[in-house]
Chains A and B, each alone.
Chain A
């Protein structure tokens, strides 16, 4: 269930801690704004921050999805703000944090997962292998 401790290099640890800190920071800002939408946004950032560091085997295996998901989440938040506003100091601070968060997530992805195309191919191959094993008689017997 729990992943074995991995040998992260100090720079990777710094990047990961920064990602979690930025996600929690923008989540906190959104939590202070009141209203369902902002509160749900804050909860989303909190869940993503936990998913970035939790040592569960499943989370470690699919950490790349968490990275991509958090990039999409932050980008959607920025887009929603750009379309609707409001444009004031706290919002600019939150958006600055989210831009920095996206940059660090891209860096983390490149360092930990490598080429995104290769990651997708690898995952597709793993999925194909999993489906084939389930359909084969041996897999069904198992």
Chain B
């Protein structure tokens, strides 16, 4: 009798665990559903990738007239950051220097136009933001 009770208990426990783990699995249809919090009309966060001591994206479109977020994806060990200047060469923004990681910068509002950016550590790494 004791053995039967133990067996039934284990079966019940296994059923409960299977039900719990199945709750977080993908839907049976196989169609991925987007998270409810993502707005499909929201503009994507611009990304600048640093690799082989160069910026992969040398011309990046950014929104004009409002602060925006920018991701620097440094894919190598040498440290990099982004420093934005205006047409006169005055520094508008200097980002944190990072190695082998991503960082999200909060860039202040830029009027429509072109803004050169460099890596402070390696000034030969150059690109341009086009605010529009």
Contacts and interface: CB of A to CB of B under 8 A. Distances in A.
Nearest to B77: A32
Contacts of B76: 34
B99 to A, nearest CB: 8
Task: Determine chain A's interface SS by DSSP, over half rule.
Answer: loop
Contacts of B63: none
B38 to A, nearest CB: 34
B98 to A, nearest CB: 10
Chain B: interface size category: 10 to 19
Contacts of B120: 85-86
A17 B1 CA distance: 79
Given A33-B121, A85-B120, A90 B78 contact: no
A88 B103 CA distance: 16
B46 interface: no
A34 B54 CA distance: 11
Contacts of B122: 34-35
A90 B121 CA distance: 11
A77 to B, nearest CB: 15
Contacts of B97: 86, 88, 90
Interface string A78-104: 000000111010100000000000000
Interface of A: 32-35, 84-86, 88, 90
